[in-house]
């Protein structure tokens, strides 16, 4: 309630952009997105037909950059040391505030766009192009960051971590993105900090029947790593998740495996506790090496993901825009665990949020599934994409045009960062 009266007051006194002007700019942005709807939907569907996993999103990145180029917006490729990363900038009446809109476009092995990043990428580009129409009337600027490999499916995963490391979020006042799901809402839930480990064991091959005593079984070391970690599970906090796969288990049953490998993802609510658990997981692998006589080599295959710092004030801006678009927000699910996202790292640099947009009402459709990939190209997926582009554009307009709103968002963020530290 107090918020509402503050907005009304703003209408009379706002210096640079009146509320009625903000409203008009949002209308223009929406109309622009409606005009581009077919093109955006076609691009998203095209990405769904040719899904590319992290750091190999060459066609997807080119497709998104083409959409920009077709409307006269230049973009820069190969950002932050990643071939499939890109960025573009729109400058209005001044540089700051500067809002970043984040695009993802990587897919999952075997599941295609089972996480719906085709929608994230095209919605971000749609919003950015709509903002291009109104930016001259806004006292700020917008960056579009094409951030590869959000899914921890490929080495060097976590494109946003590399953007952060390259300093690209240093001059960003807030960062926004969308993520498709079954519900439309702004969440105040965090995400899990996560790290990824590859363990490789080297043993000695031998005839598994004639000379087993001469072999050193690297696969046993892998299995003992799993067993050690399974024993560890009882003695970690309940927010911890440890899950792994065997990436190499030997060549033939009649050869003692000389080489074997496994990959683990380790997650926890806080970065500090994650470090503690990660050390114990590493010791499980070291113990397995000791028991079998195999030698262990390990490395982190993904960039460490930090937990997400949610921001109520930023969420409120996006929620109000969804309501303006006639959307009733869904309740947060009561149950269900947390995942991880490299947006977490961004949220430690600047206030950030991911707006959840429903692309199917069927709650049985799980993320990271073929069914979810199919939902991205359905009618409700297409509608979700257009809604996503609109709410991104409208939220960016608010963030640039309403300095007091942005100040409140940043104050909340500063506070949260301090409490964490």
Q: Which residues bind Zn ion (CB under 5 A)?
A: 115
How far apart CA 246 and CA 269 sit, in angstroms, is 25
Residue 364 CB neighbours (<10 A): 8
- Exposure of 275 in the CB half-sphere (CA atoms within 13 A): 4
Nearer CB in complex with Zn ion: 132/191: 191
Burial class of residue 22 in the structure, from the number of CB atoms within 10 Å of its CB (0-12 exposed, 13-18 middle, 19+ buried):
buried
Nearer CB in complex with Zn ion: 306/398: 306
Q: Closest approach of Cβ 179 to Zn ion, in Å? A: 6
Q: Closest approach of Cβ 108 to Zn ion, in Å? A: 9
How far apart CA 264 and CA 401 sit, in angstroms, is 45
Q: Closest approach of Cβ 365 to Zn ion, in Å? A: 14
Cβ neighbours of residue 372 closer than 8 Å, sequence gap 6 or more: 111, 113, 114, 115, 116, 360, 365, 366
> By beta-carbon distance, which residue lies closest to Zn ion?
115
Q: Closest approach of Cβ 307 to Zn ion, in Å? A: 16
Nearer CB in complex with Zn ion: 33/157: 157
Q: Closest approach of Cβ 65 to Zn ion, in Å? A: 21
Tokens of 198: 């590859």
Q: Closest approach of Cβ 203 to Zn ion, in Å? A: 37
CA torsion 79-84-89-90 (nearest 10°) is 180
Nearer CB in complex with Zn ion: 141/354: 354
Nearer CB in complex with Zn ion: 133/160: 160
Q: Closest approach of Cβ 281 to Zn ion, in Å? A: 24
Q: Residue 257 in 3-state DSSP?
A: coil
Query: 3-state secondary structure string, 265-291?
Result: EEEECCHHHHHHHHHHHHHHHHHHHHH
Nearer CB in complex with Zn ion: 65/179: 179
DSSP assignment of 159-208: HHHHHHHTTTTTT-SEEEEEEEESS-EE------EEEEEEEEEE-B--BT
Nearer CB in complex with Zn ion: 85/115: 115
């Amino acid at each position: 309630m107090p918020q509402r009266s503050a907005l009304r007051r703003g209408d009379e006194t706002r210096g640079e952009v009146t509320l009625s002007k903000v409203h008009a700019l949002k209308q223009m942005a929406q109309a622009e997105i409606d005009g581009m709807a077919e093109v955006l939907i076609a691009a998203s569907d095209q990405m769904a037909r040719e899904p590319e996993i992290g750091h190999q999103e060459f066609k997807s990145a080119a497709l998104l950059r083409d959409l920009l180029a077709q409307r006269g917006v230049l973009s820069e490729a190969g950002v932050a040391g990643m071939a499939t990363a890109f960025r573009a900038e729109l400058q209005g009446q001044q540089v700051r505030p500067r809002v970043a809109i984040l695009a993802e476009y990587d897919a999952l092995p075997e599941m295609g766009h089972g996480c719906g990043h085709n929608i994230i990428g095209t919605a971000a580009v749609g919003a950015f192009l709509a903002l291009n129409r109104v930016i001259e009337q806004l006292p700020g600027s917008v960056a579009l960051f094409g951030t590869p490999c959000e899914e921890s499916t490929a080495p060097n995963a976590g494109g946003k971590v590399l953007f952060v490391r390259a300093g690209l979020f240093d001059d960003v006042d807030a960062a926004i993105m969308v993520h498709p799901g079954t519900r439309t809402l702004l969440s105040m839930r965090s995400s899990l900090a996560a790290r990824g480990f590859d363990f490789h064991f080297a043993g000695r091959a031998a005839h598994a029947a004639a000379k087993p005593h001469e072999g050193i079984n690297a696969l046993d070391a892998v299995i003992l790593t799993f067993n050690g970690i399974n024993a560890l599970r009882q003695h970690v906090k309940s927010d911890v998740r440890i899950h792994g796969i065997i990436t190499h288990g030997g060549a033939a049953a009649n050869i003692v495996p000389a080489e074997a490998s496994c990959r683990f993802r380790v997650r926890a609510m806080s970065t500090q506790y994650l470090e503690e658990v990660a050390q114990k997981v590493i010791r499980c692998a070291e113990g397995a090496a000791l028991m079998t006589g195999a030698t262990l080599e390990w490395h982190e295959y993904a960039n460490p993901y930090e937990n997400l710092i949610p921001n109520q004030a930023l969420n409120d801006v996006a929620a109000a825009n969804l309501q303006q678009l006639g959307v009733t927000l869904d309740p947060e699910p009561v149950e269900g665990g947390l995942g991880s996202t490299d947006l977490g790292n961004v949220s430690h640099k600047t206030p950030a949020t991911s707006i959840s947009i429903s692309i199917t009402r069927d709650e049985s459709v799980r993320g990271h599934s073929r069914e979810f990939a199919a939902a991205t190209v359905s009618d409700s997926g297409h509608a979700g994409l257009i809604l996503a582009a609109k709410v991104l554009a409208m939220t960016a307009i608010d963030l640039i045009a309403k300095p007091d709103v942005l100040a409140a968002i940043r104050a909340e963020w500063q506070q949260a960062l301090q409490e964490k530290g």
